[in-house]
Amino acid sequence: MMENESTHGSSDSTPYLKRGTYWTYDQVFVKSAKIMNHLNKSGQAGVFGVQLHAKNTPTANLKVLKIMLHSIQIFLPKDVNMNIILTGFEPFNGSTTNPSAEVIKNFPVDSFSGHNLILEILPVDREKAVAWLRKSIQETHPEIIILLGEATNRPVVSIEKVAINWMDFRIADNSGIQVRDQAVVGDGPAAFFSTLPVNLIYSQLKTAQIPAEISLSAGAYLCNQVFYSSLYYLSLAENKSLCGFIHLPSLPEQVVEKNLNAPSMSLDTSLKAITIALQTCIQKYPEQ
């Protein structure tokens, strides 16, 4: 990878550095506050070091630092602080509530006190929702992203498997815009698979006696748009975060309010489902 490499260093075939690895150049410790916080929690502060050389190109030095940061991520214990984004959507289509928003409002944050939970109720606005996610991903570098939305006619918790590069809104968003037959990202891939441990979440929900399914369609409305956009931004940053989307059934009060002949799920059950989903992700990260 680099000239004059130490016998303790890495080679091109090694995907990441081991603890205690050093290069033969001037020693530089990673000073990122977030990473140093992780290392302090795991008792490893000061163990990781990397040495750069002025003769190397900026690209070569950047490559070394990227390997370094990836190494730290791989070796972090699971009980260290993580940045976790959890979002729902505001009410739309004439409803006065949204189960995903109610989950965000009532989420048991204290159960995850060792982590930095970033909770947000997104606007049902195709530009503002995506802009918030892009900014948050860039600023917080989250390890886990779970996006929530409402699926009115679904009777169970739907763990989405795939996001497609397509928008075809059956109704206008809350800004009055109705997108028809348009790509989410013009030059983006046709689809992204969720990076959440979908099968394990499904299994855990079934064990907890919570009705659930693995879904192969997140639709073509904002739910799919934010799902696809988040995975797209993560792919650009080469970020290995766990990211995915979960649809929730309507709340009983919504069905009564609109006099619908439709399935529903209590808020308590939806809260329990998302709590289990997040706990499962924390246990799996970064193995997925």
Question: What domains does the chain contain, in order, with CATH numbers?
Answer: 1-77 (no CATH), 83-284 (3.40.630.20)
Instruction: Return d(Cα 222, Cα 100) in angstroms, integer.
Output: 13
DSSP 193-219: E--S-HHHHHHHHHHTT--EEEES---
Q: Do the strands 50-52 and 157-160 form a parallel or antiparallel pair, or are they unpaired?
A: unpaired
Please name the helix (run of DSSP H) or strand (run of DSSP E) that holds residue 106, with its range, or none.
Answer: helix 99-106
* Catalytic site includes residue 160: yes
Mean pLDDT of the chain: 83
Catalytic choice (102, 150, 223, 281): 223
Residue type, 273: A
Residue-wise pLDDT tens digits, 161-182: 999 999 999 999 999 999 999 9
- DSSP annotation of 82 reads -
- Return the structure tokens found at 31: 């000073």
Using CA atoms of 256, 261, 267, 272 in order, give the dihedral in degrees to the nearest 10.
170
pLDDT computed for residue 71 by the predictor:
53
* Catalytic site includes residue 281: no
pLDDT computed for residue 259 by the predictor:
82
Mean pLDDT by 10 residues, the chain (288 residues): 37 37 35 47 48 62 64 52 97 95 98 95 98 96 98 96 98 97 97 98 98 98 98 93 98 90 96 98 82
Q: What is the pTM of this model?
A: 0.74
- If you compute the radius of gyration of the chain from its CA atoms, what whole number of angstroms results? 21
Catalytic choice (143, 150, 247, 281): 247
Largest CA distance in the chain: 74
Distances (CA, A) of 266 to 53, 80, 106: 59, 32, 13
Give the ranges where 166-266 is alpha helix by DSSP (H).
198-207, 222-236, 252-257
* Catalytic site includes residue 243: no
Q: Which positions ≥6 away from 63 have C-beta within 8 Å?
A: 1
pLDDT computed for residue 286 by the predictor:
74
Residue-wise pLDDT tens digits, 65-117: 666 665 555 445 555 689 999 999 999 998 999 999 999 999 999 999 889 99
Catalytic choice (102, 143, 150, 160): 160
pLDDT computed for residue 258 by the predictor:
82
Residue 245 backbone phi and psi in degrees, to 5:
-125, 140
155: cis peptide before it, omega within 30°? no
